Amino acid sequence: MNWDDRPEDAAAAAAAERLVGPAAERLVDSGADGEDQAVEAALRPKDLGEFIGQEKVREQLDLVLRAARARGATADHVLLSGAPGLGKTTLSMIIAAEMGAPIRITSGPAIQHAGDLAAILSSLQEGEVLFLDEIHRMSRPAEEMLYMAMEDFRVDVIVGKGPGATAIPLELPPFTLVGATTRAGLLPPPLRDRFGFTAHMEFYEPAELERVVHRSAHLLDVEIDTAGAAEIAGRSRGTPRIANRLLRRVRDYAQVKADGRIDREIAGAALAVYEVDGRGLDRLDRAVLEALLKLFGGGPVGLSTLAVAVGEERETVEEVAEPFLVREGLLARTPRGRVGTPAAWAHLGLTPPQRAGGAGQQDLFGA
Ligand SMILES: Nc1ncnc2c1ncn2[C@@H]1O[C@H](COP(=O)(O)OP(=O)(O)OP(=O)(O)O)[C@@H](O)[C@H]1O
Ligand SMILES: [Mg+2]
């Protein structure tokens, strides 16, 4: 594969840009909106002990950092991969804090030219953590410069153009690169191989999200009981960022409609107002499922037809609604089209039609 093309990434970026209207403002979107950015700094765990869940990642990272500290060395480069909102930025800040090192934050799209990267690298202090978010979106020349910087702590700065151009080698102080990506599969192998440690972040268990909600409620000075936290956690799609966002909306409701305290009833009523159902599906997700089951008898139906039926762009259905529905086992993408699973019928409280002979849905699930 030619790593310059990155078609998947281009398609996702294009889909994201096309998102306008309801899909762009979803309460259950895992990306950070303006309000998230403002409060997230306050809600971020500051050290590994405070970081909830991701046991394996925490244990491994703890060893890597302790060992580096004991040797008085700079920690190895770390790659953090995982879906949006699972704690990559948070963990990068924790790495710097645990190493007692300053952190510099930049991102792949911000580095257009190799020169941009050279400027950042040459101004790093010894031991500094360089956090490179969306590392899969860096330009190719910058990426190549990064290879040498990571391995030999050296860059070649090109001065001049054409036949007269010369490469001036520049020594760098040892630093720790922390790269983050939502799409580890898009990283060229030579880049991936230069990280000493790769942490893959998984979606969180409901019990872990419950702890996230309790912790955030405490920091926001909101009173919440166990059942209320569980109710929010169950609708948060395995994602701490969504849990924190739902908590803020439930807090609003509790303040306006009740005495500010959150219990199961308040959480349920608040999230009903925002149309986030018991499993974390929002209006768009439900519209897709309902069309699939009610209009097309559970499928198989083509993506374009399904998109027209819900009045959304093809890409919105495919990139925004479907990933979570597939992950939840509510929708399957088959060679013959989209199919609603038995769990989907159950979730919407509908009865699947009885099919007379022929290829029924049973065949599609190999049952
Ligand atoms: N393990 C955790 N424990 C407690 N809170 C967490 C945890 N992980 C993430 N959070 C909270 O979730 C929010 C989002 O986390 P963060 O910004 O680190 O996600 P991210 O993986 O960098 O997302 P993106 O891919 O969009 O950059 C933060 O406000 C943070 O407080
Ligand atoms: Mg981030």
pLDDT confidence of residue 5:
45
Catalytic residue selected from 29, 74, 88, 137: 88
Grouping H, G, I as helix, E, B as strand and the rest as coil, residue 20 is coil
Query: Among candidates 84, 116, 108, 85, which has minimal Cα distance to 177?
Result: 108
Q: Is 305 annotated as catalytic?
A: no
Q: For residue 207, is it within any domain?
A: no
Residue 51 in contact with ligand 1 by CB distance below 6 A: yes
Per-residue pLDDT of the chain in tens (367 residues, 90 and over written 9): 444 444 444 444 444 444 444 455 789 888 888 888 888 888 999 999 999 999 999 999 999 999 999 999 999 999 999 999 999 999 999 999 999 999 999 999 999 888 899 999 999 999 999 999 999 999 999 999 999 999 999 998 888 888 888 888 999 999 999 999 998 888 999 999 999 999 999 999 999 999 999 999 999 999 999 999 999 999 999 999 999 999 999 999 999 999 999 999 999 999 999 999 999 999 999 999 999 999 999 989 999 999 999 999 999 999 999 999 999 999 999 999 999 999 999 999 999 887 655 444 555 554 4
Q: For residue 362, is it within any domain?
A: no
Q: What share of the chain is helix, strand, coil (3-state, %, to 5)?
A: 50, 15, 35
Query: Among candidates 324, 293, 288, which has minimal Cα distance to 306?
Result: 288
Please, which residues have CB within 8 angstroms of residue 256's CB and are 6 or more apart in sequence?
A: none
Residues 168, 65 share a domain: yes
Residues 102, 153 share a domain: yes
Residues 250, 121 share a domain: no
Decide: 362 and 339 in contact? Cβ < 8 Å: no
From the CA of 201, which ligand is nearest?
1
pLDDT confidence of residue 23:
53
Q: Is 89 annotated as catalytic?
A: yes
Left (φ > 0), alpha (ψ -120 to 50) or beta: where does 235 sit?
alpha
CATH of the domain at 312: 1.10.10.10
Q: Give, in order, the Cα–Cα distances in Å from 34 to each of 13, 21, 22, 344.
A: 19, 16, 16, 33
Q: Which amino acid is at 334?
A: T
Catalytic residue selected from 137, 241, 245, 286: 241
Q: For residue 117, is it within any domain?
A: yes
Residues 173, 99 share a domain: yes
Q: ipTM higher than 0.95?
A: yes
CATH of the domain at 88: 3.40.50.300
Catalytic residue selected from 90, 182, 239, 316: 182
Domain final residue pick, 273, 300, 318: 273
Residues 120, 67 share a domain: yes
29, 36, 37, 44: residue to mutate for ligand 1 pocket, most atoms within 8 A of CB: 44
Q: Is 154 annotated as catalytic?
A: no
Grouping H, G, I as helix, E, B as strand and the rest as coil, residue 77 is coil
Residues 193, 67 share a domain: yes
Domain count for the chain, please give it: 3
Catalytic residue selected from 26, 90, 133, 181: 133
C-alpha–C-alpha distance, residues 74 and 129, integer Å: 9
Decide: 248 and 39 in contact? Cβ < 8 Å: yes
Residues 125, 172 share a domain: yes
Residue 179 in contact with ligand 1 by CB distance below 6 A: no
pLDDT confidence of residue 354:
79
CA 85 to ligand 2 centroid distance, Å: 7
Residues 142, 252 share a domain: no
Atom of ligand 1 nearest to the CA of 240: 12
In three-state form (DSSP H/G/I as H, E/B as E, the rest C), the secondary structure along 100-167 is CCCEEEEEHHHCCCHHHHHHHHHCCCCCCEEEEECHHHCCHHHHHHHHHHHHHCEEEEEECCHHHCEE
Grouping H, G, I as helix, E, B as strand and the rest as coil, residue 54 is coil
C-alpha–C-alpha distance, residues 238 and 280, integer Å: 9
Residues 184, 66 share a domain: yes
Instruction: Report the length, in residues, of the chain.
Output: 367
Catalytic residue selected from 26, 74, 89, 316: 89
b/e code 64-94 from CB counts within 10 Å (16+ = b) = bbeebeeeeebbbbbbbbbbebbbbbbbbbb
Q: For residue 89, is it within any domain?
A: yes
Residue 182 in contact with ligand 1 by CB distance below 6 A: yes
C-alpha–C-alpha distance, residues 258 and 329, integer Å: 36
The closest residue, in CA terms, to atom 29 on ligand 1 is: 40
Domain that holds residue 188: 54-200
pLDDT confidence of residue 363:
52
Residues 194, 83 share a domain: yes
Query: Among candidates 325, 239, 220, 226, which has minimal Cα distance to 267?
Result: 226
Residue 133 main-chain phi, psi, to 5 deg: -75, 155
Q: Is 166 annotated as catalytic?
A: no
Stated as kind and residue range, the H or E segment containing 303 is: helix 303-310
Residues around ion ligand 2, judged by CB within 5 A, are 88-89
Domain final residue pick, 238, 273, 308: 273
CA 146 to ligand 2 centroid distance, Å: 20
Residue 87 in contact with ligand 1 by CB distance below 6 A: yes
Q: Is 9 annotated as catalytic?
A: no
Decide: 208 and 58 in contact? Cβ < 8 Å: no
Q: For residue 110, is it within any domain?
A: yes
CATH of the domain at 233: 1.10.8.60
Residues 260, 331 share a domain: no
CA 134 to ligand 2 centroid distance, Å: 8
pLDDT confidence of residue 356:
59
Residues 296, 269 share a domain: no
First-residue to last-residue Cα distance in the chain: 36
From the CA of 57, which ligand is nearest?
1
